[in-house]
Amino acid sequence: MSQQELACDVLIVGGGLGGVAAALSACEAGRKVVMTEETDWIGGQMTAQAVPPDESLTIESTIYGTRRYHKYRQAVRAYYRQHYPLNRQAFDNQHLNPGGGWVSFMCHLPRVGLEVMRSMLLPFETMGLLDIKYMVKPVAADVDGDVVKSVTVKDVSGRDREFVINAKVVIDATEVGEVLPLAGCEYVTGTEAQSEHGEPTAPSEARPLNMQGVTWCFAMDHVDGNHVIDKPEGYDYWRNYEHTFKGAPKGLTFAWQDVVEDNMDSDRNHMRLEWPRPEEGRSELCSWWGYRQILDPSIFDKNIKWAMDCGGSDPLLPGITMVNWSQNDYYGGCVYEVDDAEHHKKMAKQLSLCWFYWMQTEAPRLNGGVGYPGLRLRGDVLGTEDGFAKSIYIRESRRIKAAFTLTENHISQNVREEQGEAERFWDSIGLGQYHLDLHISTEGDSSCFVPTYPYQIPLGSLVPIRMKNLIPACKNFGTTHLSNGCAREHPIEWNVGEVAGVFADECITQSESVQGLYGNKEKVAALQSRLVQEGVKLDWPAIRMPR
């Protein structure tokens, strides 16, 4: 095996959303950066995992999201205006939602997100500040006491090579905190006991392997004809699967129909697809086709024939949608910390494929028929041949044992009803806003929803209790199983990653450990001032948020 040794100021292991943000801020500070990525796509949950951005209602305003994150969002819109045949209404819409999905104000094709991120990083690659190593995975770390000296990454594409990367600061931006066990960094997995942090929703006993379910997302559209795939392996198993949570129907029919209360009438039954259009008088939001739609043909100029031909007999509907629904959440086992992790990843993809086949062949239709044979997998928009995202979407990571842990008690509306706001932190380095949303877990916990207040992200949650030059930059910072449910979303991961890059630069400049800088309030204040200058918001407007 060939081995190459590299040296840099900042090593970013993992090219996900937090990794990209960290690379931007560190390179803008003039640091020499090496970033590694296990796939051939950077961008993580936004691109390789194909999850349209989960964002709050305030994201379109100027009070939430970092300047660099908003630069990314506007660059995505600009990409569509420059390269796609938009009609005048769409072109002039400053709040253009290219995909038209209702989970976000800016659903878009993962490939577009990839191109934008690559273009944002390209100047630093050109100037020699950034070196991105694709298709490599961390396999070892050289640690001297409490300092990570280097990380070894091994090629996963079939080439017999590895890189030993020496760095002054190491940033773990992997999806499951892969550097933490390699470096011997203290970390937590799964569900903490209530006694650890006093969280009212936590169980009485810790369950380290009780993690939120994962999802292998796929893209699909619908055109004329019969596009039914071969019956997948394991279909009979999943079709008759006995769910472990209370009140669940058997098999793949889970949540195909929802009872939704609308303002027009009493509760009604609504299909997930409402194909081909919602019935008259029924809310379009009840159709889950539009939930994570990433291509909306209605934004195109009708006079551009090639654009209109892509939609079959009904070119304005339905475009392309991403399937990241409750039906293809996999909670049969953990995808890290266990010996059979790869088996569970395979099963997660198998479940998604079986779910797609069930929609093609057995899903009840509004007209009384069954199946949607015109559904097609669209791997071309995901950079794959099988129709699936390049990587599995993992909601919950290993989490560092941090100098300060963000918990349910700091953000829950139920806990902090009297205060009317989340707890304020002296060391705020950013903002988060999302409800505490937990999916069905690997040990049978039902989904959980806890309303939260908009909150601050404390710097202490990025500081390991011991390791002096290791910084988290993904879902691996100091949260709990519960608070992770409102801290894993796209703008929050970006914020954490962006700050990690600045934090790394400050530690190098001042020859400080992460604990040393964090322990000096004057230096923390200086870091905060710098973050504000670079467009990171540290506080919410002084208002009492409604319950």
CATH number for the domain that contains residue 102:
3.50.50.60
| Mean per-residue pLDDT, 409-432 | 97
Q: Please check whether residue 119 lies inside any domain of the structure.
A: yes
Burial string for 39-63 (b: 16+ CB within 10 Å, else e) reads bebbbbbbbbbbbbbbbbebbbeee
Q: Please check whether residue 218 lies inside any domain of the structure.
A: yes
Helix (H) or strand (E) holding 172: strand 161-172
Residue 230 sits in the same domain as residue 357 = yes
Mean residue pLDDT across the chain: 91
Residue 26 sits in the same domain as residue 175 = yes
Q: Which residue has the tokens 């600061």?
A: 169
Whether the per-residue pLDDT at 265 is higher than 70: the answer is: no
pLDDT at 465: 99
Whether the per-residue pLDDT at 243 is higher than 80: the answer is: no
Residue 231 sits in the same domain as residue 318 = yes
Residue 31 sits in the same domain as residue 161 = yes
Whether the per-residue pLDDT at 541 is higher than 70: the answer is: yes
Residue 399 sits in the same domain as residue 450 = yes
If you average pLDDT over each of 215-224, 268-277, 493-502, which comes out highest? 493-502
pLDDT band at 276 (very low <50, low <70, confident <90, very high): very low
Please confirm whether the linkage preceding 200 is cis (ω < 30° from 0).
no
Q: Please check whether residue 80 lies inside any domain of the structure.
A: yes
pLDDT band at 259 (very low <50, low <70, confident <90, very high): very low
Residue 230 sits in the same domain as residue 255 = yes
Residue 43 sits in the same domain as residue 133 = yes
Q: Which of 356, 381, 406 is the last residue of a domain?
A: 381
> Are residues 442 and 347 in contact, defined by beta-carbon separation less than 8 angstroms?
no
| Mean per-residue pLDDT, 499-515 | 99
pLDDT at 242: 80
> Are residues 192 and 207 in contact, defined by beta-carbon separation less than 8 angstroms?
no
Domain that holds residue 96: 2-193+395-533
More confident residue, 252 or 32: 32
pLDDT band at 207 (very low <50, low <70, confident <90, very high): very high
Percent of the chain residues past pLDDT 70, beyond the cut: 89
Q: Please check whether residue 66 lies inside any domain of the structure.
A: yes
Q: Please check whether residue 389 lies inside any domain of the structure.
A: no
pLDDT band at 282 (very low <50, low <70, confident <90, very high): very low
| Mean per-residue pLDDT, 243-268 | 56
More confident residue, 363 or 79: 79
CB atoms within 10 A of CB 381: 18
What is the full DSSP assignment across 89-138?
A: HHHH-TT--TT--SS-S----HHHHHHHHHHHHHHHHHTTSEEEEESEEE
Q: Which of 381, 414, 443 is the last residue of a domain?
A: 381
Residue 8 sits in the same domain as residue 124 = yes
| Mean per-residue pLDDT, 99-115 | 94
Q: What is the C-alpha R_g of the chain?
A: 23
pLDDT band at 313 (very low <50, low <70, confident <90, very high): very low
Residue 220 sits in the same domain as residue 174 = no
CB atoms within 10 A of CB 383: 17
Q: Please check whether residue 13 lies inside any domain of the structure.
A: yes
pLDDT band at 62 (very low <50, low <70, confident <90, very high): confident
The Cα–Cα gap between 249 and 259 comes to 15
Q: Which of 359, 381, 403 is the last residue of a domain?
A: 381
pLDDT band at 306 (very low <50, low <70, confident <90, very high): low
Query: For residues 152, 156, 158 and 163, what is the CA-based torsion angle, rounded to 10 degrees?
Result: -20
Residue 69 sits in the same domain as residue 94 = yes
Least reliable range by pLDDT among 157-171, 237-251, 269-283: 269-283
Residue 145 sits in the same domain as residue 230 = no
pLDDT tens by residue, 148-191: 999 999 999 999 999 999 999 999 999 999 999 999 999 999 99
| Mean per-residue pLDDT, 94-116 | 95
| Mean per-residue pLDDT, 526-535 | 98
Whether the per-residue pLDDT at 304 is higher than 60: the answer is: yes
Whether the per-residue pLDDT at 535 is higher than 80: the answer is: yes
Whether the per-residue pLDDT at 487 is higher than 50: the answer is: yes
Residue 376 sits in the same domain as residue 418 = no
What is the full DSSP assignment across 359-374?
A: HHHT-B-TTS-B--TT
Query: How many domains does the structure of the chain reveal?
Result: 2
Would you state the structure tokens that stand for residue 402, as one six-digit string?
Answer: 């941090």
Q: Please check whether residue 388 lies inside any domain of the structure.
A: no
Question: 119 Cβ partners below 8 Å, 6+ apart?
Answer: 75
pLDDT band at 63 (very low <50, low <70, confident <90, very high): confident
Whether the per-residue pLDDT at 196 is higher than 60: the answer is: yes
SS3 content of the chain, % helix, strand, coil (to 5): 30, 20, 50
pLDDT band at 364 (very low <50, low <70, confident <90, very high): confident
Please confirm whether the linkage preceding 318 is cis (ω < 30° from 0).
yes
The Cα–Cα gap between 388 and 219 comes to 7
Q: Please check whether residue 542 lies inside any domain of the structure.
A: no
| Mean per-residue pLDDT, 512-533 | 98
| Mean per-residue pLDDT, 435-458 | 93
The Cα–Cα gap between 351 and 243 comes to 13
